Copies of this chain bind each other. A is one copy, B any other.
Amino acid sequence: MQQPKILKSGFLPEETRKKLHTVIYEADTRAGKLFDIILLCVILLSIVAVMLESVASIKIVYGRQLAWIEWIITVLFTLEYIGRVIAVREPLKYVFSFYGFVDLLATIPKYVGLLFPGTGFLIAVRAVRLLRVFRILKLTHFVGAGNQLINALRKSQVKIAVFLFSVLVLCIIMGTLMYMIEGPESGFTSIPISIYWTIVTLTTVGFGDITPITPLGQLVSVIIMIMGYGIIAVPTGLVTAQFMNDEKPHLNTQACPNCGANQHRDDAKFCYNCGASLSK
């Protein structure tokens, strides 16, 4: 609709740009699929490289190879970033989008490392590359199933929020109680630590780094555990009920204009009660 200016219409002739766009952003052609698979491999390689570099014994032995791999990945990501910028009609929109930032951050750590050597926080920036795996999801046939899962969760969203809020209040109350009962001698050194311990216990994780020693503390622990064991039924029940409802034809709450009956199938044309036409 708007008159295209230079930074809005891209750097390439329309024909070339379209072809590049098909390869980089779409996955329907052969070249597009190939590009996506190669990108996926490079992203996974970059993630594995970040992981391995964090293992001290590996870094000592293979440090040089990892540095080389880092350089290769940086070059590939740079080329891909330039490609993405010139392949869209409005580069600025891409650059300032979420994935635009992620792609940029995935590219720059090595360059920044050249300018300011020894900046340790770069590992954090490199970890941003992990977010790029979500690009992969786009190309899979998993999207349908993934959307179904997300929809089911979204529909029970409010109930899950209420549930989590109640659990949190419960944990704060129980944590304070445990702090007053056990005290610092047993490792319950402060109320925040006690609440941390309560959540560890309620979710049935149970690290065992802090454990109650007094009989009363153990009694309260037992109550927390049984509550945690029981109330896990609530999110499970919510999500299960949601999944089930998603699979049966949905009954809506629209009322029949003639007799007022509701709970019709979404695709019903006539009222099941009086046979009047439903003016949808």
Residues of chain B contacted by A153 (CB below 8 angstroms): 234
> A189's contact among B56, B236, B237, by CB below 8 Å, is which?
B56
User: How many angstroms from the CA of A74 to the CA of B183 in the assembled complex?
Assistant: 26
With A124-B180, A218-B196, A267-B261 known to touch, is A230 a contact of B241 (CB < 8 Å)?
no
Q: Which of A129-180 contact B (CB under 8 A)?
A: 130-131, 133-134, 141-142, 145-146, 148-149, 152-153, 158-167, 169, 172-173, 176-177, 179-180
Question: Hey, which bits of chain A sit against chain B, CB under 8 A?
Answer: 47, 50-51, 54-56, 123-124, 127, 130-131, 133-134, 141-142, 145-146, 148-149, 152-153, 158-167, 169, 172-173, 176-177, 179-180, 184, 189-193, 195-196, 199-209, 211, 215, 218, 221-222, 225-226, 228-230, 232-245, 247-249, 251, 261, 263, 267, 269, 273
In the assembled complex, how far is the CB of residue A264 from the closest CB belonging to chain B, in whole angstroms?
A: 11
Closest to A205 in B: B206
> A222's contact among B166, B199, B208, B236, by CB below 8 Å, is which?
B199
Number of this chain's copies in the complex: 4
> A191's contact among B50, B134, B166, B229, by CB below 8 Å, is which?
B50
14 A-B pairs (CB sep. < 8 Å): A54-B190, A145-B159, A145-B161, A149-B162, A199-B226, A200-B222, A201-B205, A203-B229, A204-B229, A205-B206, A205-B225, A240-B244, A248-B251, A249-B251
Is the contact region of chain A dominated by helix, strand, or loop, or is it mixed?
helix
Would A232 and B236 count as touching, CB distance under 8 A? yes
Would B243 and A241 count as touching, CB distance under 8 A? yes
In the assembled complex, how far is the CB of residue A194 from the closest CB belonging to chain B, in whole angstroms?
A: 8
User: How many angstroms from the CA of A163 to the CA of B226 in the assembled complex?
Assistant: 11
> A190's contact among B51, B173, B196, by CB below 8 Å, is which?
B51
Would B234 and A149 count as touching, CB distance under 8 A? yes
Would B240 and A47 count as touching, CB distance under 8 A? no
Would A159 and B149 count as touching, CB distance under 8 A? yes
Residues of chain B contacted by A239 (CB below 8 angstroms): 233-234, 236-237
Would B190 and A56 count as touching, CB distance under 8 A? yes
User: How many angstroms from the CA of A179 to the CA of B124 in the assembled complex?
Assistant: 10
Would B200 and A225 count as touching, CB distance under 8 A? yes
